[in-house]
């Protein structure tokens, strides 16, 4: 950043920490209602004259929030993050996970990095975005239940399908150790059922062992993983097929 650019960026650190403190205080473990945190975000945006829209899960307990700053035209950037966090049960926290705690230069709290930290950075910069002479829009898109399968995003996309304009770029504020990551390997779940044929143990040749068949399938998957590891393709180099569970009958 040039000294001139640095001058143009106001010191938003205090505001960011203040917002993060509020966000961490909402116990938004995936699957729980999001009324509190969404109300806070909507109020904050409204204070800056930014209207926002919500899209809900079926029970209307959890919501995505979407807002646009700048001209409502094609192009621009979406700043995307999720409001939910993973559970804390059974974990050895030395401070209250839902109370932002400062120790030296570090801030502790569930979601302080992944990813309420990003949400706080985005929200703290809203006045800067608003004051900027934007020729393309900045969209804010915060979703629910990312940690349990990205359940909020399809709901958000559906709600945006009626919009006349399309964003150009999405920046997802997931922690990547301050390195830019340009892709994601994604995930896909498949279910395979192998049924055997029972037979008396005196002559197993009369039956078919589901375990033996499954073993061959898992071996094949391992072979494919080895091939993939030997021929890496960009972000897919760490992609793996993982047999998650097996039962035989």
Alpha helices in the chain (DSSP H): 3-8, 13-25, 35-47, 116-124, 126-131, 152-160, 210-230
Nearer to Zn ion, 55 or 112 (CB): 112
Give the shortest CB-148-to-Zn ion separation in angstroms. Answer: 11
* Catalytic, out of 43, 61, 89, 146: 146
Q: Is 84 a catalytic residue?
A: yes
Nearer to Zn ion, 5 or 177 (CB): 177
Nearer to Zn ion, 115 or 214 (CB): 115
Q: CA-to-CA distance for 55 and 152, rounded, in angstroms?
A: 9
Segment near Zn ion (CB under 5 A); pick from 67-75, 131-139, 157-165, 173-181: 173-181
The verdict on 18 binding Zn ion (CB under 5 A) reads: no
Give the shortest CB-146-to-Zn ion separation in angstroms. Answer: 6
DSSP 83: -
Angle of helix 13-25 relative to helix 35-47, nearest 10 degrees, comes to 150
Question: Count of H helices and E strands in the chain?
Answer: 7, 7
Nearer to Zn ion, 57 or 174 (CB): 174
Distances (CA, A) of 30 to 144, 148, 235, 244: 7, 7, 27, 22
Q: Is 222 a catalytic residue?
A: no
Segment near Zn ion (CB under 5 A); pick from 29-37, 51-59, 170-178, 213-221: 170-178
Give the shortest CB-115-to-Zn ion separation in angstroms. Answer: 4
Segment near Zn ion (CB under 5 A); pick from 11-19, 24-32, 171-179, 220-228: 171-179
Give the shortest CB-113-to-Zn ion separation in angstroms. Answer: 9
The verdict on 63 binding Zn ion (CB under 5 A) reads: no
Burial class (CB in 10 A: 0-12, 13-18, 19+), 131: exposed
The verdict on 115 binding Zn ion (CB under 5 A) reads: yes
Q: CA-to-CA distance for 204 and 194, rounded, in angstroms?
A: 17
The verdict on 119 binding Zn ion (CB under 5 A) reads: no
Nearer to Zn ion, 96 or 174 (CB): 174
Give the shortest CB-147-to-Zn ion separation in angstroms. Answer: 7
Segment near Zn ion (CB under 5 A); pick from 46-54, 62-70, 167-175, 192-200: 167-175
Whole-number CA gyration radius for the chain = 24
| Residue 81 φ/ψ, nearest 5 degrees | -155, 170
The verdict on 114 binding Zn ion (CB under 5 A) reads: yes
Sign of CA dihedral 125, 157, 81, 171: negative
Report residue 150 as tokens: 């990205």
The footprint of Zn ion (CB under 5 A) covers 114-115, 174
Catalytic residues: 84, 146
């Amino acid at each position: 950043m040039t000294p001139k650019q640095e001058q143009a960026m106001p010191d938003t650190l205090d505001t960011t920490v203040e917002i993060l403190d509020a966000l961490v205080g909402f116990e938004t473990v995936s699957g729980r209602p999001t009324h509190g945190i969404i109300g806070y975000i909507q109020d904050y945006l409204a204070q800056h004259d930014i209207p926002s829209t919500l899209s809900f899960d079926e029970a209307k307990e959890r919501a995505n929030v979407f807002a646009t700053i700048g001209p409502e035209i094609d192009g621009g950037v979406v700043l995307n993050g999720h409001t939910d966090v993973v559970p804390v049960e059974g974990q050895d926290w030395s401070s209250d996970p839902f109370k932002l705690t400062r120790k030296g230069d570090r801030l502790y709290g569930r979601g302080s990095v992944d990813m309420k930290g990003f949400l706080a950075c985005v929200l703290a910069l809203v006045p800067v975005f608003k004051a900027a002479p934007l020729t393309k829009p900045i969209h804010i898109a915060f979703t629910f239940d990312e940690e349990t399968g990205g359940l909020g995003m399809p709901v958000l996309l559906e709600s945006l399908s009626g919009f006349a304009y399309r964003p150009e770029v999405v920046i997802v504020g997931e922690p990547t150790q301050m390195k830019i990551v340009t892709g994601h390997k994604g995930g896909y779940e498949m279910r395979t059922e192998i049924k055997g044929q029972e037979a008396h143990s005196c002559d197993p040749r009369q039956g078919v062992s589901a375990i033996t068949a499954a073993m061959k399938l898992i071996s094949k998957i391992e072979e494919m993983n080895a091939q993939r590891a030997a021929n890496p393709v960009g972000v897919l180099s760490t992609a793996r097929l993982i047999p998650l569970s097996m039962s035989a009958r």
